[in-house]
Amino acid sequence: MEQRDLQVSDREVYEAILGELKREQETLVMIASENYASSAVMQAQASVLTNKYAEGYPGSRYYGGCDYVDRVERLAIERVKRLFHAPYANVQPHSGSQANMVVYLSFLDRGDRILGMNLSHGGHLTHGSPVSFSGKLFEAFSYGVSRESHRIDYDQVRDLARRHKPRLIIAGASAYPRLIDFQAFEAIARETGAYLMVDMAHIAGLVAAGLHPSPVEAADFVTSTTHKTLRGPRGGVLFAKEQYGDRLDKGVFPGIQGGPLMHVIAAKAVAFGEALTPQFMEYQKQVILNARTLADKLTEHGFNLVSGGTDNHLLLLDLSSHGMTGADAERLLGQAGIVVNKNTVPFDKKGPKITSGIRIGTPALSTRGMGVDVMETIAGLIKMVLENPNSESVLKKTRNTVSELCTSYPIYGKPGLEK
C-alpha cells in the first residue's frame, strides 16, 4: 500500500484537524468535561497498535501475535489499580457510558429498578434518563438536590431507596460542584440491599490525586472516563470489588464489545503513568484552586452560583436573575472566544436545549498553566460579555484579551509538541 502523508492524501481531513488545533489554541476552553491530552498520550493513540485485533484478555486472546498488546494492557491495568488503590480494573471499555452499561447488563435483569441522580440536577444520561438505554431497559427513579442548599439530599436518597427497593443505586454526576459523600451512599445501599455503583468520570483526576474522597472502598462498582480531569485519551475504565471481576470481564467481552482498541489502551497506560507523578497532584490542586477563585470572583460580580460555590473542578451559573438563558450565554461567550456549555440548573423551568445556566470548568485552562490571576481576569471578561450582550466593542475587547492569554499560555508550542 502506498504510504502518503495525510496532508497529501486527504487535504479535507487534514485541514479540519488543523482548524481544530487552531480553535483549541486560540480559545479559552472552559467546558468541564474537556482537557488537553499530552503529546505522549497522542503518540501512543496514533501508534501501530491500531492495526491489532486482540479479542479477549492478556494471556487469553482469540488471536495470535498479541505479545506486545498484552504487555501494554497489563501495564495499563497495573498502573490504574495502583493509581486508585483498586483490587480489580478493566481498561477495555470504549467510553464511560459503556462501562456503565457493562455493570447494568452484568448484574441487573431487564426491568429491574435503579436509582440515580436527576439529569436536571446534575446527573448523567446513563443514570436513568428515559432517552438513554438506562431508562429504557430499567425502571428508573431519581433523587436530586435540596431546593435550599442545592446539595444532594441524602435523606431523600434514603427515603427513595427504602420506598422503591432499587437493585442498583448510582452515585456520581456530570454537573455537581460539591463533594459527594460515598459513605452515605454505601450505608443506604447496604440498608436497602442494593448494589452501589459510582460514576466518577468527572472527578477521577481529583480522586487520583487524593483531593476528593475515593469511592473505591465504598462502592461495589466504580466507572470512569479516562479524559476529563484524568487528562488521558477518550475512553472508559471499570473498577470493582475483586469478587465481581470475572463477571465484569465477561460483561465487557464478549458481553457488549468485541476487539479492544489497543492503541487507546496504550494511551490510557501513558496517561495513568502521568497521573502517578507528583506533578499531576500539583496540577489537580491548581484545578481546584482555579475553580474556587473563579467562583469567588463571579460571586463578587453578582452572579448566582448553584450551591453557592464549588469543591471541585466545575461551577454552575444560574443566569435567571440576569434575564438570560444558558443558550444565549453560551453563544455570546463563544463569540468572545470563551467556550462553555449551556446547562440545566436544579429545578430549571427551561428545557435542556435552552436551560437557565452554564457549566464552567477549569481542567483545560489549568493544563495550559493558567493560575488564579488569570481566573480573576476571566471572571471579569465573563461579566463584561454577559452584562453587555449587544456591545460589539465589548466583544472585540474581550476577544483581544482572550487572544493575548492564549498566546501567553499555548497548549502546544508546535503541533504535536508540548509547551
Say yes or no to pLDDT of 418 above 60: no
Q: Which residue from 357, 296, 349, 361 is spatially nearest to 322, judged by alpha carbons?
A: 357
Crossing angle of helices 392-408 and 372-387, rounded to 10°: 160
Percentage of residues of the chain with pLDDT beyond 90: 97
Write the CB contacts of 112 (distance below 8 Å, at least 6 apart in sequence): 138, 139, 166, 167, 168
Mean pLDDT, range 16-38, rounded to an integer: 97
The reported pLDDT for the residue numbered 341 is: 98
pLDDT tens for 354-382 read 999 999 999 999 999 999 999 999 999 99
Say yes or no to pLDDT of 414 above 80: no
The reported pLDDT for the residue numbered 27 is: 98
pLDDT tens for 81-101 read 999 999 999 999 999 999 999
The reported pLDDT for the residue numbered 413 is: 64
pLDDT tens for 279-332 read 999 999 999 999 999 999 999 999 999 999 999 999 999 999 999 999 999 999
The reported pLDDT for the residue numbered 360 is: 98
> How far apart are the C-alpha atoms of 320 and 304, rounded to whole Å?
9
C-alpha dihedral (366, 372, 374, 379), degrees to nearest 10: 110
Say yes or no to pLDDT of 116 above 60: yes
Global pTM value: 0.95
Mean pLDDT, range 158-179, rounded to an integer: 98
The reported pLDDT for the residue numbered 419 is: 39
Neighbour tally for 348: CB within 10 Å: 18
Q: Which residues are catalytic?
A: 53, 55, 199, 225, 228, 234
The reported pLDDT for the residue numbered 162 is: 98
The reported pLDDT for the residue numbered 1 is: 65
The reported pLDDT for the residue numbered 416 is: 39
Say yes or no to pLDDT of 165 above 80: yes
In what helix (H) or strand (E) does residue 379 lie, and over which residues does it extend? Answer: helix 372-387
Mean pLDDT, range 345-350, rounded to an integer: 95
pLDDT tens for 199-237 read 999 999 999 999 999 999 999 999 999 999 999 999 999
Confidence of residue 4 (pLDDT cuts 50, 70, 90): confident
List, in sequence order, every beta strand (DSSP E) within 118-167: 139-143
The reported pLDDT for the residue numbered 412 is: 83
